[in-house]
Homo-oligomer: A and B are copies of this chain.
Amino acid sequence: MEICTVGGYEEVGKNMTAIKVGDDVFLFDAGLYLPPVIELQADDNFQEYTEKNLREVGALPDDLTLDKLGWRDKVRAIFLSHAHLDHVAALPYLIHRYPNVPILATPFTMGVVDYLFEDAKVELKNKKILMQPNSSYKIKGRSGEYTVEFVHATHSTLQCAFIALHTKEGVVFYALDFKLDKHPVMGEPANYSRFKELSKKGVKVLIVDALYSGTDRRCPSERIARDLVEDALSTVRDKNSALFITTFSSHIARLKSIVEFGKLTKRKIFFIGRSLNKYVTCAQQIKMCPFSRDIQLIKYKNQVDGLLKKVEHNRGDYMIVCTGHQAEPGSILDRIVSDKTPFKFKAGDNIIFSSSVIPVPININARDMMDKKLRKKGVRIQADVHVSGHGSREDLRDLVDLLKPKIIIPAHGSLQQETTMVELAGELGYKFHETVFLSANGKLLKL
């Protein structure tokens, strides 16, 4: 078996991994690296995203490597683990290189993918195979038959999957973006019993999310976030003040908690922004949006301003859910805080950040500037009403304990972030360069 760690092994983004067994290659994920995308967008000469400009700034996984290896024509399937942009959003720009290769994803993920193609004005002609969580699918290759299994995972959006590829050389287990949540707010905990079965069958290699492998704890459950949301909303006592709450658009479970406790404030609940509209609509399509009747979705810019005008005059009547928690320039929240909409924050108004600041200078700075403005206006800020969707050291230890893979390949972070997974593997008996590897983007590993 050979593994080409195409992208996402030196950064958080542009995830893509290729596995080759005999004459058959399988791709796992095809994501964007967002920071250069944002820089590109900020450039004065920017017009639209193209494969060319995205490649130039390093936003796409460098799958030209596959051509050099002679692997491109051998790709038999593309597996998408979940609906986040760093896992699926490169697809519209790369798919033309893989005609006739089927794409496998859960219905929610596929819904988001469809949106992304629509946005990119690219037609998706490849065969789409919908995988229900905990289902499997047989793929015929040149060198044999394979079974791919989408094992239910808990993370921070709907229908996330661990992907287990059964080959004659053993199981490849692809475990990016997960936590082992015992009490998820929507759906079931991860499929522990299946882990054990796979362990018995023999996991040859585990490709694993090392992002927080340096943090000595379990990642707290999403129900913790639910409680934090409840507390945050229950302290909004002033019935005449405005109430805004911002979170990740794709985090349907979080939105569920927000709506559930938001309803207790007796305010009308509006979701504003394109991104929220996109994810919520996808959730509705698969009938996993339990709060559909409790909210109104506003997606067009002119409607937004109309709504905000009403909020300005009847502040106590509304709860507004919006994007912009990282204070992204041009986000709806940024525009509001910068007084560019008909609504102006004033003393006693409320803003709840159901998110954490991503700890990189650009976000730290943007939020620092936004927070200063909010504070100057006397707005009540509740920040960090949030728990992460990425497992920490103890989640990772458990996964390794359960699967007992022969080989571990840390992924989803910088080399520095991945080294702590190497150290954890060392505690668990793995040897660096023998049974645990540190791979780079574009590197080929023969196992």
Contacts and interface: CB of A to CB of B under 8 A. Distances in A.
Interface in A363-379: 364-366, 368-369, 371, 375, 378
A368 B359 CA distance: 13
Interface string A403-440: 00000000000111001101100011001110000111
Contacts of A232: 218
Interface string A382-422: 11110000000010011000000000000000111001101
B217 A383 contact: yes
5 closest A-B pairs by CB: A365-B365, A432-B440, A361-B365, A415-B419, A361-B368
State which size class the interface on A falls in.
Answer: 35 or more
Contacts of A182: 231, 234-235
A362 interface: yes
Interface in A170-215: 180, 182-183
A251 interface: no
B382 A394 contact: yes
Interface stretch (A82-90, A117-125, A219-227, A294-302): A219-227
Contacts of A48: none
12 contacts: A180-B235, A216-B371, A216-B384, A217-B385, A218-B235, A218-B382, A220-B227, A224-B228, A361-B361, A416-B419, A432-B440, A438-B438
A443 interface: yes
A223 B221 CA distance: 13
Given A228-B220, A361-B361, A361-B369, A235 B383 contact: no
Contact of A397 (B380, B394, B431, B433): B380
Contacts of A415: 419, 422-423, 432, 438
A307 interface: no
A337 interface: no
B443 A217 contact: no
Contacts of A40: none
Contact of A440 (B223, B382, B383, B433): B433
Contacts of A423: 415
Contacts of A428: 378
B385 A183 contact: no
